[in-house]
Structure 1
Amino acid sequence: MKVFITGPSGYVGAEVARLLLAEGHSVVGLARSEARAEGLRKAGIEPVIGELNQLDVLSASAASADAVVHTAFFHTGDYEEATRLDIAAIGAMTDAMAGSGKPFIMSSATGVLGDTGALTVSEEFPLNPHHCIKPPGSRVICERAALFAAAKGVRIMVFRLPPYVWGNGGSFFIPLHIQAARERGKAYYILPGSQKTCGVHVEDLAQLYVLGIKKSSASGVFHTTTGNDYTAKEIAEADIASGSYAQKA
């Protein structure tokens, strides 16, 4: 199987690519530069030079693939513009796949749910329309752009990633917490500290992407967390190992 991945050098995309290659699949990855392309080649990935706003490149790559995994996002600092560009990118790729029934998986985030309080919610949990008009909730617009593409004859999956994707020496939010704690000499949390969040190991997450590609009946929205047992206080206290100290705020 030939899989086209946007964000193949990213934390999640690289792990998905690694697992696909280990299973004998062919992986094509979007690269912003020749330097990035060389890194992909060393990893066994066939590079395609281009940016996420080059719709012709995305279209051609999606059309020639058996599946598409869209893990990249425009981190431009302008979230409204990033959302607009992402919708265009999703449209270009799914248009190219129209009528094929091939799988298209896009990464989103559980942040679109907003604060659910003490509730553990499923994929059917209704989204707050007021939350969805501003970041990070506004990313639900990108989700809908993908889900609407199911009408084109594409098998669509939206994977909502939890805040804490971790493992294999990487993460996004965890290093930010540790850096902030080191700079301030304290790791802060908001009282009472019992507020829960969710997470998943990056290898488990990559397995889900691969299963999504292979399982022909899979479609729709999926929450990708493996648990909601992380509390604000526990996260702050974990920074003690980095030489910082938890303090209530």
Structure 2
Amino acid sequence: MRVFITGASGFIGGAISAEFLKAGHQVIGLTHSEEGAALLNAAGVDVHRGNINDPQSLQHGIEKSDGVIHCAYMHGFDRIEAASRQESAAINHLGRFLVGSDRPLLITSVAAMGIAIPGQPAIENHFDPNQRNPRYATETAATHVADQGVHVSVVRLPQVHNTQKFGIVSSLLQIARAKGISAYVGEGANRWAAAHLLDVAALYRLVLEKNEPRTYHAVSEEGITLKEIAATIAERLNIPLVSLSVEEAQSHFGPLAMFLDFDMSASSEQTRQRLHWHPAGPGLIEDLRQYNIVL
């Protein structure tokens, strides 16, 4: 199978590319930079020059492929609105070039989109477009192209980690190091789901190979409390552990504060049953304890 991957040189996209190559598939990776092209070449990925803002480059990538994985995203808490607009446009372009085809399109979202009851784990068969998490734009666009007949599956991600990166937790590490305290909000009882990078990559492969359009959760740990995460960071950096009020969190964490009292636990029961996915990687706290702290 020839798989066209946006974001193929990134943290998650790179692992997905490696997983497909290991399974004997051909990978075509979208990149706009020389650095990205070098990384893809070194990994054995076929380089496709372009970017997600260029419909023609997307069309040419799709024309060479048997399936598409979209995992490129403009990250940054200070540019959420721009990222949402870019994401919606990219998904609509990808879908437009797949209408009338049975080739699968995998869209990347976040597990919190499946929260049906606040404080309860998110589930695969629920989507709330009115919640405060800005990634709602991803699934709204995915629903739009699915309504046009495109074979769309959504892979929702939790905090994806190895021993170098940890999703939003990486930002908590940076803030803790800069400010000399590791903080959480209130009692810190809200939970965040997590999964190891290699388990996530394996799930993308299973979803594409099965080509059964639906929503899947790449979740191996249903939820780790924010307090435990902050405590582990405090231990690794040898700094105080501090509880902040919601008001204090606004100034301490900046734009990230909107997520800090948010429960982002999630279930993957339906995903495991449908795909026989058995995540086996280390947990978030275990990887965080192995993080190479350079003081």
Separation in structure 1 between the aligned mates of residue 49 and residue 165 of structure 2, nearest angstrom: 25
Seen in structure 2, the aligned counterparts of structure 1 residues 153 and 201 have a Cα distance that, compared at 3 Å, is: same
1:128 shift after superposition:
5.9
Show structure 2 runs of 5+ residues with no match. 245-295
Separation in structure 1 between the aligned mates of residue 51 and residue 221 of structure 2, nearest angstrom: 35
1:193 shift after superposition:
1.9
Separation in structure 2 between the aligned mates of residue 153 and residue 124 of structure 1, nearest angstrom: 19
Separation in structure 2 between the aligned mates of residue 116 and residue 166 of structure 1, nearest angstrom: 26
- Aligned counterpart, 2:137: 141
Q: Secondary structure at the match of 1:81?
A: helix
1:149 shift after superposition:
2.0
- Aligned counterpart, 1:37: 37
1:124 shift after superposition:
3.0
1:126 shift after superposition:
5.1
Separation in structure 1 between the aligned mates of residue 117 and residue 179 of structure 2, nearest angstrom: 30
- Aligned counterpart, 2:279: none
Amino acid aligned to 2:239:
S
- Aligned counterpart, 2:61: 61
TM-score w.r.t. structure 1 length? Answer: 0.88
Q: Secondary structure at the match of 2:236?
A: helix
1:33 shift after superposition:
1.5
- Aligned counterpart, 1:161: 157
Contact 2:55 2:93 in 1 (8 A): yes
Counterpart check, 1:236 vs 2:236? no
- Aligned counterpart, 2:191: 196
* Selected match of 1:178 from 173, 178, 184: 173
Q: Secondary structure at the match of 1:211?
A: helix
1:106 shift after superposition:
1.0
CA-to-aligned-CA distance 1:15-70 (integer Å, 9 cap, x gap):
00001011111101111122321221011011111121111000111122111010
Separation in structure 2 between the aligned mates of residue 2 and residue 27 of structure 1, nearest angstrom: 6
Contact 2:116 2:122 in 1 (8 A): no
Show structure 1 runs of 5+ residues with no match. none
1:192 shift after superposition:
1.4
Counterpart check, 1:223 vs 2:217? yes
Separation in structure 1 between the aligned mates of residue 180 and residue 83 of structure 2, nearest angstrom: 34
Counterpart check, 1:214 vs 2:212? no
Amino acid aligned to 2:107:
M
How many percent of aligned residue pairs carry the same amino acid?
29
CA-to-aligned-CA distance 1:186-205 (integer Å, 9 cap, x gap):
11111212221111111111
Contact 2:108 2:156 in 1 (8 A): yes
Please report the RMSD computed on the Cα atoms of aligned residues, expressed in angstroms: 2.1
Separation in structure 2 between the aligned mates of residue 248 and residue 80 of structure 1, nearest angstrom: 30
Contact 1:114 1:128 in 2 (8 A): no
1:114 shift after superposition:
6.8
Contact 2:116 2:123 in 1 (8 A): no
Q: Secondary structure at the match of 1:36?
A: helix
Contact 2:114 2:125 in 1 (8 A): no
Contact 2:113 2:127 in 1 (8 A): no
- Aligned counterpart, 2:257: none
1:96 shift after superposition:
1.5
